[in-house]
Amino acid sequence: MSSYFTDLAQQYIDGEWRPGTGSWDIIDFNPYDDEKLASITIATVDEVDEAYRAAARAQKKWAETNPYARRAVFEKALRLIEEREGDIAEAIIAELGGTRLKAGFELHLAKEFLREAIQLSLRPEGKILPSPVDGKENRVYRVPVGVVGVISPFNFPFLLSIKSVAPALALGNAVVLKPHQNTPIVGGSLVAKIFEDAGLPAGLLNVVITDIAEIGDAFLEHPVPKVISFTGSDKVGRHVATVCASHFKRSVLELGGNSALVVLDDADLDYAVDAAVFSRYVHQGQVCMAANRVLVDRSVAEEFTEKFVAKVRTLKAGDPRDPETVIGPVINSSQADAISSAVEQALAEGATALVHGTRTDNLVEPSVLTDLPAGSPLLQQELFGPVALLVTFDGEEEAVRLVNDTPYGLSGAVHTANIERGVGFAKRIDTGMFHVNDGTVHDEPIVPFGGEKHSGIGRLNGDTMLDSFTTTKWISVQHGRSGFPF
C-alpha cells in the first residue's frame, strides 16, 4: 500500500507520470496520526491545458472504437481492483481515515459501478423518427459529448471518481480528473493507475492534482470540456454552475444534503434505531446522504431516544486501522473545528447534549443533541460530522413540514409498519431520493442518483449517465427531391 503514496505522487498527463511545475507542494497527511503520506508538486494552468488538449486528441479515436473493445478495458479494471483490494483498502484507511468497514463498503460499490460501466458501453441507441415531409428520414444519433472534467470529493474519493470517470469513458468520452486536495492518491492517481494497467489508451484519462489558489477557474473555463461533473458542497457547486453556464457548458452537480430519518408512531423502534445510527454515523457522518436530523413522533420519542442514545454510546472511536473502530477521524482540522463549533453553538442556543463527545485532534467522538429551538440554523444546514439532532413532532403533517424545511433535498427515510403509508409520506417530500423502512445512505448503479433544491442538478447512475455524458445529433436524409417555397 505504501508504494501508492511514493509511486503515484505525481500528475498523470497524456499517459505520462510526471511532477507538476507549480511553485509549491500539496502535502498528503493521514488524518488520524498526521503522518506525511506524500508530497505532490501542484499542476499549473499550463498543465491543466495540456491535460485537456491530450484528452481532446485521444477522444476522437476512442469514440470510433468498437464499444465491445472499449468494454474490455473496464472488465480488466474490475479484475485489477479485485486483485488489489487489500492494498486499496489500506490506502483508503490511511489517506482519508476511513474505517475498515467503510473501506470495504466503498470498494464494494466501486466494483458495482464498474460492472455497470461495462454494460453502459453498449447502451447508447439511435432512433429513426417519422417526418411530416414525404421522403424524409430523421436519424437521431446518441454521441459522446467529447471531454468531461470531473471534480471529486474527499469523503468517498475512490468510488466517486470512478462513478463519473468510468461511465464517461465507457460512453466514448475522454476525461480530466481533479481529485480533492486531501485525497489526491485514492481519488486521483490511483484511479489513473488502474485504468493505465487495464489498457486504456494514453490521453483518455488525465489526472491533475492542484488547487484553485494556483489555477483559479481554469479547470472550469477551459474551452475543451463540454461537461463538468462535480461532487461537493452546495457553496462550491453554485460557483461551478455559474461558471459553466457562462461558458455554455453542461454541469452535473451532486451536492450536499440535510437528510431526515423519520420515525412514525407505528415504527419498529429497535430497527429504526439501527437504521438511524448507521445513517448518521457511517464514515463519521461525512456522507452527503447522512441523516443529519432524526425526527421522532412524540408518542414514541422517549423509548426511541433511550435506545438511540444507548446504541450511540457503544460506537468505538479511535484508530481506523482497528477492525473494532466505528468512528475514525474526520478529514482535517478545519472540519473538526467546524463540528466542535456547531455543537457549542447548539448548546448556547439551549440544546441538550444527551451524548457530548470529546475531540482529540481530528478524532471527534459522537454527539447527540436534542431540544434545539425551532429556528436554529443548525436544523437548516449540513453537519458533515458525527452529530445527531433529535427532533420530536406531533403527527404526520408536522413531520412532512419539518422534513421539507431545509434548502436541501437529497435523501431521507421514513419508518412505519404500513408500507403504503410510508410511500405516501415519501411522495410528499421534496428530495431526489427517499427510502421506506431503511437508512438514508444508499447508492445503486442503475437507479437515478441526485437531489433537488440546493442538493444538485442532474442525475447519475444507469441510463441517466446517457443524459449526463452524451448528447443527441439529428441527421436528416431526404429521399427524392424536396420542395422549396422559392
For residue 107, give every residue at least 6 positions away whose Cβ sits within 8 Å of its Cβ, in sequence order, or none: 81, 85, 88, 89, 92, 158
Euclidean distance between CA atoms 443 and 458, whole angstroms: 15
Contact 316, 325 (CB under 8 A): yes
**Residue 306 annotated as catalytic:** no
Contact 390, 354 (CB under 8 A): yes
Angle of helix 157-170 relative to helix 85-96, nearest 10 degrees, comes to 120
Q: Is 388 helix (H, G, I), strand (E, B) or coil?
A: strand
Joined grid coordinates for residue 19? 511532477
Considering the candidates 288, 365, 382, 396, report the single residue annotated as catalytic: 288
Considering the candidates 254, 365, 382, 396, report the single residue annotated as catalytic: 254
For residue 317, give every residue at least 6 positions away whose Cβ sits within 8 Å of its Cβ, in sequence order, or none: 325, 326, 327, 328, 357, 363, 364, 365, 366
**Residue 288 annotated as catalytic:** yes
Joined grid coordinates for residue 154? 474527499
- By residue count, the chain amounts to 486
Q: Give CA 33 to chain center in angstroms.
A: 26
Euclidean distance between CA atoms 364 and 409, whole angstroms: 26
Contact 273, 375 (CB under 8 A): no
Q: Name residue 228's beta-bridge partners.
A: 149, 251
Q: Is 65 helix (H, G, I), strand (E, B) or coil?
A: coil
Catalytic residues: 254, 288
